[in-house]
Amino acid sequence: MSTNSFKFAGGRNSGAKNWYMQRITGILLVVVLIGHYILMHATPESGHTYKAVMDRLHQPAWKVIDMAFVTLGLWHGLNGLWNVIRDYEMKPIMTTVLYTVLVLIALVFWFIGLNTILSF
């Protein structure tokens, strides 16, 4: 701050695209989350036993929904965190390091998530 070192980095990518993606993933997450709550917390008759859950996880449709849940959640959350980070001015190297860390977190958790879902 207060160094007068302003550099305009713009012109690379549209911020509007990012804005849309954050909203779209957000809305989808709300839908999936409501579904999740109804299924897992509000309707005991849908079956919460180990066996019932396993049966669901064996159906391809449920696999797709769960994979979407993992992907959307990771993207929305980490992209949000990235936006917060970018609110602060930091050295380019620091930005690159933090970006790499976020991408790694995304990849690792995505892999674990997908691996779990697909192993049934």
Residue numbers 17-36 binding another protein by CB under 8 A = 17-20
Count the residues of the shown chain that bind another protein, applying the rule CB under 8 A: 25
DSSP label at residue 58: T
Decide: is 51 part of the binding site for another protein (CB under 8 A).
Answer: no
Residue labelled with tokens 């849309």: 20
Is residue 109 a contact partner of residue 65, using CB atoms and an 8 Å limit?
Answer: no
Radius of gyration of the chain (CA): 19
Using CB under 8 A, which of 52, 89, 103, 111 touches another protein?
Answer: 89
Q: Which is nearer to another protein, 50 or 88 (CB)?
A: 88
The correct pick among 86, 103, 107, 111 for binding another protein (CB under 8 A) is: 86
User: Least separation, in Å, of the C-beta of 43 and another protein?
Assistant: 38
Taking the C-alpha atoms of residue 6 and residue 12, their distance in angstroms, rounded to an integer, is: 17
Q: Residue 90: which residues within 8 A CB-CB, separation 6 or more?
A: 98
Q: Which residue ranges make up the site for another protein (CB under 8 A)?
A: 1-20, 83, 86-89
